[in-house]
Amino acid sequence: MTEDTLSPASITNGLETRFIGQNIIYYQSVTSTNDIAKLEAQRGATEGTIIIADEQTAGKGRIKRVWLSPKGTIALSAIFYPHITLLPSLIMMASLAVVHTITATANLTAQIKWPNDVLINGKKVCGILIESDVKGSNTNYAVIGIGLNVNLKLADLPEIALTATSLSQEMGKVIPRIYVVQRLLAELERLYLILQSGGSIYEEWRDRLVTLGKEVKATAGDVKYEGTAESVDPDGSLLLRQPGGKLIKIIAGDVTLRE
């Protein structure tokens, strides 16, 4: 087994969590870890169950985009059964967990681009996709999918080489993915327990957003907006100040930073 090989035993060995990652389902190659996680959640998998793969062949990004997850990345999905009031905080939890993990394992500074991307030096290193099943006031499950470029060779992927990066590319050396996975799972659990106990992670998430104060183009459904990303609400919504002075609230959408 090489130092960059993932397996359930290698991940759980020394993993300092109470429940996240204590049950791991591993695949060498899979279409989408989120799709499998949703099926496992419907079958009653324990909270904190992780679906992880060395490679995703049909990884999903937001707005029906494809997320490339070849070998050298971390592609995982975590199953949660949160109270419905915690759903808006899950994207904050996941993105902060990634930022903390990057700092701890690679000593790199990462920032968050609203709503779900993590950047290093302005380039995308991680994407997050949260899918949930809600009926009435009850959350049947929530799945957090994380795709993190650890040892991805961007030279092999010219279609994203200008907009993406990886931890190894930024550091100039390969990083054992096992350490990154273990730290990521520990950070997810730590932040989730804060939320469950009534604590807030909103302020730190807000302060890590590279989007705020920038001129942006925003898309919400079929509607496009331009303006200054002024702030974010505790529910995760973006507050956009339009050129005419009107402040609008974008609950879900996509943002491009204007040059």
Contacts within 8 Å (CB) and 24+ apart, 115-122: 115/62, 115/91, 115/236, 115/238, 115/252, 115/253, 115/254, 115/255, 116/62, 116/91, 118/148, 119/210, 120/165, 120/167, 120/170, 121/165, 121/170
Beta bridge partners of 139: 134
Do 135 and 179 lie in a common domain?
yes
Asked if the structure places residue 21 within a domain, the reply is yes
Q: Tens of pLDDT along 98-119?
A: 999 999 999 999 999 998 899 9
Domain that holds residue 163: 8-206
Of 61, 65, 118, the closest CA to residue 94 belongs to: 118
Taking the CA atoms of residue 51, residue 132, residue 187 and residue 5 in that order, the dihedral angle to the nearest 10 degrees is 20
User: Considering the entire predicted model, what is its pTM?
Assistant: 0.92
Asked if the structure places residue 191 within a domain, the reply is yes
Evaluate if residue 56 carries a pLDDT over 60.
Answer: yes
For residue 248, the surrounding DSSP H or E stretch is: strand 247-250
Q: Give how many domains the chain has, as a whole number.
A: 2
Of 165, 162, 167, 202, the closest CA to residue 181 belongs to: 167
CATH assignment at residue 136 = 3.30.930.10
Q: Tens of pLDDT along 195-250?
A: 999 999 999 999 999 999 999 998 877 888 899 999 999 999 999 999 999 999 98
CATH assignment at residue 227 = 2.30.30.100
Do 96 and 124 lie in a common domain?
yes
